[in-house]
Amino acid sequence: MSTLASDFPVASLARTLGISRATQYRNSSKGQRALEDAQLSEHIARIFLQHKQRYGSPRIHLQLQQEGFHCGVNRVARLMRQAGWVAKMPRRKCPRTTDSRHSGPIAANHLKKLHISRANQAWAMDITYIPLGGRWAYLAAVLDLHLHKIVGWEISESLHADVACTALKHAQQKQGYPAEVLVHSDRGIQYASKEFISLCTLFGCKRSMSAKGNCYDNATMESFFGVLKREELNEYDFESIEEVRAQVFEYIETYYNRVRIHTALGMSPLAFERAQGAAPSAEFSEAWETPKVGKKEAEEQALRPRPMVVTSSYPSASCSPAEPASVSPDITSIHQEPLVIKH
């Protein structure tokens, strides 16, 4: 068609060959559309590499819009497909971390009828596995269902209730000890344990559990764990729990909460939190106390008495380099030997 276009009208050739005129212009290396595609591809490549190949066409399209580019998501997908740029894909799921075969007390599903309209109204909790040198490490996380933000997490080599309890303690500390939070989980034995129930009572939290055999009730947490593994953890062979902790910290606290665009929000959880008009929550400190951010601020923080609980230190697990020095991570605890990237 390009050869005949100099002798015949493009419209006539398109009708004869049964293709659209846009196809000719798009395929022409000298056409305006081709030049625009080349320029747009450069920006797509920049964003794709900036986010370490974690973004597919929908999120790249959102970021392009935020940067002032006007294009359709299908166009972005086409250019990525032509260049062979594919976002990281999930692996097959492995072991089960939910053991609902227990006699512990089951809570009703209060989340199903709840209209979520503010931060610290409802938190979802779950536990997932992480391969660790021939064995497993377990990550318990707490996600605010309004902010779509991970507000607490803990890693352990055991599936004991302690890992879920510590994650909830960290979430309460980070969010300023909010009362009357609905805490939703699956029917795992950790969330039906005496330790976890007592902790919820202490914090004034209301327990909620998914229906039996219904994984969709806690799909938000399953989705987060899938993203975490696909975009970060699957690339590494971990040999120590310290390596796992450092990498989880790097992803959650410096990328997922602060930078990564959540498609339901159209922005990062931190940007959404700021857009709500509320100050971002304090980051974790190693001690089980409210982070000190200056004399005046520290005096004004405690809106209600803090529960007297004892917890182990939280080395570098959820601090952010952007926070004051008093709550910054212990650098020596998170810098490990270089991890082995899988090829």
294: left (phi over 0), alpha (psi -120 to 50) or beta: left
Burial category of 78 from C-beta neighbours within 10 Å (exposed 0-12, middle 13-18, buried 19 and up) = middle
The conformation of residue 106, written as its DSSP 8-state character, comes to P
Q: Would you say how long the chain is, in residues?
A: 343
Cross-strand pairs, 142: 125, 152
Give the predicted TM-score (pTM) of the model.
0.62
Structure tokens at 330: 């212990």
| CB-CB contact of 142 with 152 (8 Å) | yes
Residue ranges of the chain with pLDDT lower than 50? 1, 4, 284-306, 310-336
In the numeric block, which tokens belong to residue 308?
């007297």
User: Helix, strand or coil for residue 103?
Assistant: coil
Tokens of 85: 């740029």
Distance separating alpha carbons of residues 230 and 89, to the nearest angstrom: 6
Q: C-alpha angle 53/58/64, rounded to 5°?
A: 85
Phi, psi (rounded to 5 degrees) for 310: -110, 135
What pLDDT score was predicted for residue 8?
Answer: 57
Max CA separation in the chain (angstroms): 86
pLDDT for res 26: 57
CA 213 distance to own-chain centroid: 25
Report pLDDT for 29: 54
Torsion, CA 303, CA 304, CA 310, CA 312, rounded to 10 = -20
pLDDT of residue 10: 60
Give domain 122-341's CATH number out of 3.30.420.10, 3.60.21.10, 3.40.50.720, 3.40.30.10: 3.30.420.10
In this structure, are residues 97 and 129 in contact, taking their beta carbons and an 8 Å threshold? yes
- pLDDT tens column, 165-199: 999 999 999 999 999 999 999 989 999 999 999 99
Question: Would you kindly state where each structural domain of the chain is located, as residue ranges?
Answer: 25-83, 122-341
In contact, 244 and 137? CB cutoff 8 Å? yes
Termini Cα distance of the chain: 43
d(CA 288, CA 312) in angstroms, rounded, equals: 8
User: Which pair of structure tokens corresponds to residue 147?
Assistant: 């902010």
Residue 52, pLDDT score = 77
Q: For 126-151, what is each residue's pLDDT tens digit?
A: 999 999 988 999 999 999 999 999 99
Q: What is the pLDDT of residue 322?
A: 37
β pairing state of 122-132 and 206-209:
unpaired
Closest CA to 241 of 156, 165, 312: 156
Q: What tokens were used for 84?
A: 């062979």
Q: How far apart are CA 110 and CA 79, in angstroms?
A: 45
Report the half-sphere exposure of 340 (CA within 13 A, side-chain side): 8
Q: In what order do the strands lie in the sheet with 135-144?
A: 149-156, 135-144, 122-132, 182-185, 206-209
